[in-house]
Amino acid sequence: MIDFAGIRIGHATYPQNYTGCTVFLCPPGTFGSVDARGPAPGSREFALLAPDKPEDKEVNAIVLTGGSAFGLATADGVMRYLSERGIGHPTPIRPVPIVPAAVVFDLGLNNEPFMPNATAGYDACVAADAFTGDIAQGNVGAGTGVLVGKWAGFPHMMKGGFGVASLRVGEVVVAAAAVVNAVGDVVNEDGGVLAGARDPAGGWLAAENPLRYVEWGSPPPAGTNTTLVVAATNARLSRSELSRLTHQAHNGLAIAVRPSHTRHDGDVAFALTTSRVSGDLTLVNNMVVAVVGEAIRNGVRHAASVMGIPGLAGTREED
């Protein structure tokens, strides 16, 4: 069971196509910020979350999706779902839902020309409405077709996934979710590799190459590797404090993924507050670093093997 600061999470998963999307439905009074540090993030509604924008714009949902830029169509389905329920920024005509979205590139495993679409976004909302705190991790939603440890070439990579983690200190809750599709390795708290580029002779290639760098005949395309993070708290924060929280989320990402924020990654971190309790900003910042790192590790711990690509959770029955 996961306490995600009052936010509900739902997946739409297409295992035969190795893709999907994940939706975070936000309660009234939720505000957000975002920090995109990758060279080519696929995104929607990021400008509205900038620190210089009005603080009265609530966030109604966040979408993380596979399908690269094609997957941004999932947000249309989320908007339809919210609009049918009268949820959105008020206007004289009708409420307009605010639904920022970010994508991962998972086209490498997609064996059919199928991308997450508006129907997928709508279905993920239906799943989120039934959220009770028990959320699937690993090869689900936006984590269905993601991979890690690609810095040494695709033959050495492992399966990534979707992961969550949460901490409570007193009344303050800080939670994080991550879609782990990194060029780098995912490491434990002590820096040892948890999942990443494998040595054919056994162990990890990082043991012989601690800088995790190889010269490619042709470099991997920029933006085809991305870790997406949604960090959330029930502590009341200003827009500038939320912006700071996204920076701390990226710190947690950099601790758990090595290397991170490379020219081959499109790493993005969202920060959300449901504005329910008072909380010390330093405490919240420290908590978010911890939960982001753990969410990333949980994403690979729950990832199952697919198409001969090993995952820490073993082999799925359909494989």
Q: What is the pLDDT of residues 66-107, one digit of tens each?
A: 999 999 999 999 999 999 999 999 999 999 999 999 999 999
Pick among 1.10.606.20, 3.30.460.80, 3.60.70.12, 3.40.630.30: CATH of 8-301: 3.60.70.12
CA 161 to chain centre: 9
pLDDT in the model for residue 247:
98
Q: Tell me the C-alpha distance between 30 and 295, whole Å.
A: 21
C-beta of residue 268 within 8 angstroms of C-beta of residue 226: yes
Q: Tell me the C-alpha distance between 110 and 107, whole Å.
A: 5
Beta-sheet pairing, 257-258 with 185-187: antiparallel
What confidence category does residue 317 fall into, taking pLDDT thresholds of 50, 70 and 90?
very low
111 SS3 class: coil
Q: At 20, which helix (H) or strand (E)?
A: strand 19-25
Other beta carbons less than 10 A from residue 136's beta carbon: 18
Instruction: Give which of 225, 42, 203, 256 is closest to 151, Cα–Cα.
Output: 225
pLDDT in the model for residue 316:
55
pLDDT of 34 higher than 70: yes
pLDDT in the model for residue 153:
86
Can you read off the two tokens belonging to residue 43?
A: 């995104």
Q: Residue 259: is the preceding peptide bond cis (ω within 30°)?
A: yes
User: Once rounded to an integer, what is the mean pLDDT over residues 184-199?
Assistant: 95
User: Once rounded to an integer, what is the mean pLDDT over residues 141-169?
Assistant: 95
pLDDT of 318 higher than 50: no
What confidence category does residue 215 fall into, taking pLDDT thresholds of 50, 70 and 90?
low
